Amino acid sequence: MLNFRVREEFIETLTKCLERPANFEEAMFLTTANPYELPLLLKAALYIKEKYFGKIVTYSRKIFVPLTNLCRNKCAYCGFRKDPGTPGAGFMNFEEGMKIVKLGERLGAKEILVSTGEKPETVHSEAKKALRKLGYSSTVEYVRDFEEKALKETEHMLPHTNIGVLSKEEMAELKPLNASMGLMLETISERLMEKGMPHEHSPWKHPKIRLKMIREAGELKIPFTTGILIGIGETWEERIKSLLVIREINREYGHIQEVIIQNFMPEPGTPMEHHPPPSPIIFLKTIAIARLIFHRETSVQAPPNLSLSAYQTLLLAGINDWGGISPLTPDFINIRYPWPKISEVKKVTEELGYILRERLAIYPKYIVKKWFPKTLERRILKIVNTNGLVRRKYELF
């Protein structure tokens, strides 16, 4: 005898969430979807995705330049950060970085994801010394000069900076060089900063610090990418509240171009190497509920490389974007999880009846609204069509 049934309240709640974005109580109720209700939740998310984004699913053809793997935080799940003095720790020099950028451009990439550990020079004397040797006093200055060089020496490439917490002044300094910027909120939970929790040794992962930066990016009108990391010990309530605070900020400033729903994956050699990743069901539920929370407000994205054997299923939960995919560099943050080939992503997207299109690091709607710096105007408008998507002649699969 099967005990599951579709509850009337579940249908009522879903119906309301089709008409307008979900509130906290509704989103929390949807997390209780039983096996009979889950397909309805996915169907509702898919309906909203198609209503606002049609058949198009986007991605950004990018390369990844990790200018330093040193960091002032020590997140318990991080497989990217290295301790000063250990093999492979340090700064990438400009020559090495530019080699990636130029090769990426030849392979049709248009986004330079400049990602680093966060301001290591503020806590590690080795990082300070290494920067001084390169002629710099901070990681931000180093990134700024690298991006200037990259813009000078390429035709189509557009930086997207994601180097941890920045002050408003630092963001303003980098703004003319960037198509967009990013910082994962990860979680609103201060509990995860307590002893024995993943952010115990990461004082700059405090949600208040990160929310401040996300808000200030809005004040500066910088198209912004953020998101949540799921499966690191947060509760459903903390997950939903994290999504809702992002929505609240976006309603005030209108700058959140995409929300990434990222699943934790264990990295060997880290304190959380034996911590299980979130189940596929939790991941799908979170994506679907995110879709019902954001409706058309922001793009909902999930990375295909962290669900490699079944990433096609993420489309069934209502994502409308695959994020940045590199035809050249690995995902340095999740080094054990290579991106699928872009031709493969196109194939699995089309198998479900969708159309894969390339976008830039700045989302189409912000191009149409002209939220880009004057300095990048010519380069952006040359590549995109009137809808803000990459023109067919510049797309490569």
Q: Which residues of this protein are in contact with ligand SF4, per CB under 6 A?
A: 71, 73-75, 78, 80-81, 117-118, 164, 202
Cβ–Cβ contacts within 10 Å for residue 276, how many? Answer: 9
Q: How far apart are CA 180 and CA 256, in angstroms?
A: 10
Please report how close the Cβ of residue 203 comes to ligand SF4 at its closest, in angstroms. Answer: 10
Measured from the CB atom, the residue of 197 and 316 that comes closer to ligand SF4 is 197
Measured from the CB atom, the residue of 75 and 362 that comes closer to ligand SF4 is 75
Q: How far apart are CA 122 and CA 139, in angstroms?
A: 10
Please report how close the Cβ of residue 389 comes to ligand SF4 at its closest, in angstroms. Answer: 31
Reference 45, options 61, 60, 58, 33; nearest CA is: 33
Q: How far apart are CA 360 and CA 123, in angstroms?
A: 35
């990459």: which residue's tokens? 390
Measured from the CB atom, the residue of 149 and 275 that comes closer to ligand SF4 is 275
Q: How far apart are CA 371 and CA 267, in angstroms?
A: 37
Please report how close the Cβ of residue 67 comes to ligand SF4 at its closest, in angstroms. Answer: 12
Q: How far apart are CA 353 and CA 147, in angstroms?
A: 38
Please report how close the Cβ of residue 329 comes to ligand SF4 at its closest, in angstroms. Answer: 17
Measured from the CB atom, the residue of 67 and 356 that comes closer to ligand SF4 is 67
Q: How far apart are CA 74 and CA 81, in angstroms?
A: 8
Q: How far apart are CA 341 and CA 349, in angstroms?
A: 12
Please report how close the Cβ of residue 193 comes to ligand SF4 at its closest, in angstroms. Answer: 12
Q: Can you point out the beta strands (E) in 127-205?
A: 158-162, 180-182
Measured from the CB atom, the residue of 303 and 318 that comes closer to ligand SF4 is 303
Please report how close the Cβ of residue 118 comes to ligand SF4 at its closest, in angstroms. Answer: 5
- Please work out, in degrees rounded to the nearest 5, the angle formed at the alpha carbon of residue 11 by the alpha carbons of 51 and 8: 170
Measured from the CB atom, the residue of 68 and 178 that comes closer to ligand SF4 is 68
